[in-house]
Structure 1
Amino acid sequence: MSSHSKLFLTGLFVAGLLAAPALAFDFGRPATPEEIKLWDIDVGPDGKGLPHGSGTAVQGKQVFSDNCAVCHGENGQGGIKDRLAGGQGTLASNMPVKTVGSFWPYATTLYDYIHRAMPYPTPGSLSIDETYAVTAYILSLNGIIPADGKVDRESLPKIRMPNRDGFIPQPEFDPAKLFRKR
């Protein structure tokens, strides 16, 4: 088939799609508010969306050892995946080390990432309290909270990460400009 014939047939197909009435499917149903709530688990930098619960760095050390150390190494270093601890003061150097302690801007989004994406083979399998505990442990490894520190939905948004001001939003991504009414 010539390229002109293919182009013509593609044009007819697209025209047919545009002219067709909206397709309706006779299966499924709208999700219930309860079902939607199960998937509404994201947490913003301001802490909006953090669930009730808590965890300590001491508790997190065991959860980390059981679920995270195989990839990230004991104490968040030396594993086959990203290093999580150390690196403070290296970002401006020729050999920056990007870790939670040197690079991550918000403690709340650390919780969010762990809760939704970790541990790698079984994301979302940690309980809320286990996620708070692992978050506390990683923060303690970086000296951001004490080794016996505790985090919860009240304390996590108050933690000021070392690189909080290291991110400069581009003007085109300013939420005030993106979402203003036109």
Structure 2
Amino acid sequence: MSEFVINLRRVMLLERTLENGGNTTCPLRRPETSIDAHIQVENDSRDHHLQVRFGPYTGSITLRRGDSTKYMSLRDFLQDVANGRTESGQQTRRAIDLMEALDLVSDALPGGMRAFITPTTDSDHPFGTVVTNDQGEVCATAYGRCKHTLVAAVRAKLGQLPEGHGEHA
């Protein structure tokens, strides 16, 4: 899996918000998805104080106003959080993985069914799902090692043929 990155153009757009304070949204991208960082900047005479939110998770950093590397420090901080290289980033990474799993499972369901995703305490199968019909009746439960094995498990429980990824022609 590739990592979330912020392109150089976006870093330069962050400069104005960093210098003037205020709020902005900064997309972090990787080939298969993107996530928005919501950034709030408050300045004083010496520092920039930033609060960053990725969905329900937040992080904060203080950068010196006169530091010539502060833009790159902000970029590194955002990428570290989004890619799970900090404690709060690990929570964010897990939340992103759960959202992606929900999207993938939901796309695989027949009409009239709805998936609910939950983390598990099983390190071998960290994803769990419950699938219900329109009446709220449970149609399937499944666990998976990753979002793809979770989809395969749901398909098996619902009696659907697995979809390939183009490996066999």
TM-score of Structure 1 vs Structure 2, range by shorter chain: under 0.3
Structure having the higher Rg: 1
Q: Which has the higher helix share?
A: 1
Q: Which structure exhibits the higher relative contact order, with contacts defined as CA atoms closer than 8 Å and separated by 6 or more residues?
A: 1
Q: TM-score, normalised by structure 1?
A: 0.22
**Hey, which of these two has a bigger chunk of strand by percent?**
2
